[in-house]
Amino acid sequence: MKIGRNDPCWCGSGKKYKQCHEAFDRKIEQARVAGHVVPSHDIIKTPDQILKIKESAKINMACLDAVAEKIRPGMTTLEIDQIVYDTTKKMGGIPATLNYEGFPKSVCTSVNDQVCHGIPSRDVILKEGDIVNVDCSTILDGFFSDSSRMFMIGEVDEEKKRLVEVTKECCDLGLAQVKPWGFLGDMAEAVHTHAEENGYSVVREIGGHGVGVEFHEEPWVGYLSNRGEDMLMVPGMIFTIEPMINMGSNQIYTDQENGWEVYTLDGMPSAQWEYQVLVTEEGYELISW
């Protein structure tokens, strides 16, 4: 359906279309005609939605801050789950992973050769030298946030430390490429180039995603593409940058018993950081990390 120029804008601003998103839509249409993948209106957040998603993100970051403060050798990953659950509830939120498609816990904790979706357990005791990804996601008032950090337990050997640091650099370099009217491939190229230059591999099958109104929205966000490829970025889009970087090969498998936990096939370590990013008129805003 075509909107008239004097009709109210689709974004809900109350302004006339011609004074609101008309020029914006024309730019998107140009990119589409040029052969690019472009975002649909339903993944472009309104200012009001952005405020609410940011409130959710505050809880998400508070959870990871609380974990950062308490994580230590000897702690179980179930205790991390408890910290996340308690912090989220205290602040009025709901852990987004809890019962999500049957996931049983409030956070993912992925240790060493676990790539992602590790299930917190009283049997997983963190020990000196471990690296662990804590992936937290929150629902507040129906709005979603999602980010993750790596933690190094006590003294970690140089090789693992470098993996954790380089993976963070991959995210930072990817983040620096986020700007309106660029492409997700600009970000992806920065991520995989830096990983490969350091001798690492990038997991292909699992990626980031749009997030905010739903837990997982369009687009799917990969890290293997190159500049100018994948979806056009426009102001109001929110998505995650969350590459999984392996020290060895990029091959992975899923635990068939629980259907969730993903491991590297060669048993070598894997690292991941996750940023939740808003595309703005000027560039980007990091809303959760």
Q: Which residues of the shown chain bind Co ion in the complex (CB under 5 A)?
A: 146, 240
Residue number, 180 or 219, with CB nearest to ligand MF3? 219
Is residue 128 within 8 Å of 154, Cβ to Cβ?
yes
CA proximity to 128, closest of 67, 168, 71, 70: 71
Chain CA centroid to CA 231, Å: 16
- Residue 246: strand, helix, or coil: strand
Degrees, nearest 5: CA angle 211-215-219: 45
Residue number, 60 or 225, with CB nearest to ligand MF3? 60
- Residue 108: name its binding partner from ligand MF3, Co ion, none (Cβ under 5 to 8 Å by kind): ligand MF3
Is 117 near ligand MF3 (CB under 6 A)? yes
Residue number, 20 or 109, with CB nearest to ligand MF3? 109
Q: How far apart are CA 232 and CA 184, in angstroms?
A: 6
Pick out residues in 226-245 that bind ligand MF3 (CB under 6 A).
242
C-beta nearest to ligand MF3: residue: 103
Is 109 near ligand MF3 (CB under 6 A)? no
Degrees, nearest 5: CA angle 130-93-275: 50
C-beta nearest to Co ion: residue: 146
**In the complex, minimum distance from the CB of residue 142 to ligand MF3, in angstroms, rounded to a whole number:** 17
**Size of residue set near ligand MF3 by CB under 6 A:** 11
Considering only 53, 66, 87, 103, the residue that binds ligand MF3 (CB under 6 A) is: 103
**In the complex, minimum distance from the CB of residue 135 to ligand MF3, in angstroms, rounded to a whole number:** 4
**In the complex, minimum distance from the CB of residue 109 to ligand MF3, in angstroms, rounded to a whole number:** 10
The DSSP bridge partners found for residue 270 are: 246
The DSSP bridge partners found for residue 217 are: 210
Is 289 near ligand MF3 (CB under 6 A)? no
Amino acid at 195: A
Residue number, 214 or 266, with CB nearest to Co ion? 214
* Residue whose pair of structure tokens reads 């490829």 in the numeric block: 229
Is 24 near ligand MF3 (CB under 6 A)? no
Query: Which tokens in the block code for residue 165?
Result: 């640091």
Residue number, 10 or 220, with CB nearest to Co ion? 220
Q: How far apart are CA 110 and CA 107, in angstroms?
A: 10
**In the complex, minimum distance from the CB of residue 157 to ligand MF3, in angstroms, rounded to a whole number:** 27
Is 100 near ligand MF3 (CB under 6 A)? yes
According to DSSP, residue 11 is labeled T
Q: How far apart are CA 96 and CA 106, in angstroms?
A: 7
Task: Report the residue count for the chain.
Answer: 289
Residue number, 156 or 287, with CB nearest to ligand MF3? 287
**In the complex, minimum distance from the CB of residue 164 to ligand MF3, in angstroms, rounded to a whole number:** 18
Is residue 110 within 8 Å of 59, Cβ to Cβ?
no
Residues lying near ligand MF3 in the complex (CB under 6 A) are found at 97, 100, 103, 108, 117, 135, 137, 146, 242, 260, 274
